[in-house]
Amino acid sequence: MNFTTRFAPSPTGPLHLGHAYSALLAYDMAAAAGGQFLLRIEDIDQSRARKQWEEQIYEDLTWLGLTWPQPVMRQSDRLPRYRAALDQLTAMGLTYPCRCNRADIEAAAGAPQEGVPQFGPDGRIYPGTCRPRAMHEAGSHDVIRLNMQKALQAAELRPFTETGPAHEGPHAPDPDQLISAVGDIILVRRNMGSSYHLSVVVDDADQGITHAVRGEDLFEATQIHVLLQSLLGLPTPVYHHHRLIRDEAGKRLAKRDDARAIAKYRAEGASPQDIRGIVGLPSSSV
């Protein structure tokens, strides 16, 4: 099995130090294993994606010393592939359309019950209001959800391997947690043609990703992806969830943290080796 990993940013703002750490770590791991590093542009949210941010991604990563095979996979080119995966799940009777907005979900959730999870990897856990609806009722303003209960009945859940320091070891999705603490996830968002969960699973399989390197904030979502891989008959990679780069207050960096943008460090005269030192990675020998 040839080690293959990827860095998959969204072109919705400047890359910051957290992105630099994730990309450099994945690149270093691939180099150490004699494998390959791929770049993927996650631009399914066309309302926020911008060409100038995509161009800056290429500039920043090249400046950091990273290289990758061409052409680069772009999610906006792959909507028919995501539709095929959705159709596969629909044929299994696992999907339904949902017209609820955030206010509807908040209202339906009611008063919090002590000890009952209220939020999961996708935010407020969906209460299942639209679960009785059939797919032929789907309209342009609906999202498409996965019926988690039916999905778990249809799946043969598989274990996955985690090599990240915080969760290292074998893990297996927990059916009870998927129902109570995750719920009916969105597979297709309004006006996007897919969602993160569906697209990342399909893309990783199609790119032959053997090791998925990403932030520890996505660890709870991994069991969702392993479930979808099982349902769609796709391979499950080895996962490595790395630490997050945080600001002085301990808050993880976001796209709005322009003060920590890679381009800003470049403009102020920092070197790629300086960036490695700031995020706690060893200097490159290249």
Question: How confident is the model over 126-150, as a mean pLDDT?
Answer: 96
Q: Is the pLDDT of residue 114 over 80?
A: no
Higher-pLDDT residue of 1 and 132 is 132
**Token couple for 157:** 């859940």
Residue among 191, 161, 163, 187 nearest 29 (CA): 163
- pLDDT one-digit tens code per residue, 157-196: 999 999 999 999 999 999 999 999 999 999 999 989 999 9
pLDDT at residue 248 greater than cutoff 60? yes
13 compared with 254, residue with greater pLDDT: 13
pLDDT of residue 106: 85
Q: How much of the chain exceeds pLDDT 70, in percent?
A: 92
* Average of per-residue pLDDT across 98-108: 89
Query: What is the rounded average pLDDT of the residues 7-33?
Result: 96
- pLDDT averaged over every residue in the chain: 92
57 within 8 A of 11, measured Cβ to Cβ? yes
Name the residue with higher pLDDT: 93 or 105: 93
* Cβ-based neighbours of 58, under 8 Å, separated by 6 or more: none
Q: What is the pLDDT of residue 263?
A: 93
Q: What is the pLDDT of residue 251?
A: 62
The pLDDT value given to residue 116: 61
In the predicted model, is pLDDT for residue 278 greater than 60? yes
Q: What is the pLDDT of residue 93?
A: 98
Q: How far apart are CA 45 and CA 136, in angstroms?
A: 25
Predicted confidence at residue 122, as pLDDT, reads: 86
Least confident of 85-89, 136-140, 147-151, 199-203: 136-140
Q: Which of 18-27, 107-116, 182-191 has the lowest mean pLDDT?
A: 107-116
Mean pLDDT to the nearest integer, 255-273 = 85
At residue 1, the pLDDT reads 63
Distances from the Cα of 124 to the Cαs of 92, 115, 151, 273, in angstroms?
A: 26, 15, 20, 41
* 284: pLDDT strictly greater than 80: no
Section 49-62 average pLDDT: 97
Q: How confident is the model at residue 213 (pLDDT cuts 50, 70, 90)?
A: very high
Q: Whole-angstrom Cα distance, residue 82 to residue 183? A: 21
Encode the chain in three state secondary structure: CCCEEEECCCCCCCCEHHHHHHHHHHHHHHHHCCCEEEEEECCCCCCCCCHHHHHHHHHHHHHCCCCCCCCCEEHHHCHHHHHHHHHHHHHCCCEEEECCCHHHHHHHHCCCCCCCCCEECCEECCCCCCCCCCHHHCCCCCEEEECHHHHHHHCCCCCEEECCCCCCEEECCCHHHHHHHHCCCEEECCCCCCCHHHHHHHHHHHCCCCEEEEEHHHHHHHHHHHHHHHHHCCCCCEEEEECCCECCCCCECCCCCHHHEHHHHHHCCCCHHHHHHHHCCCCCCC
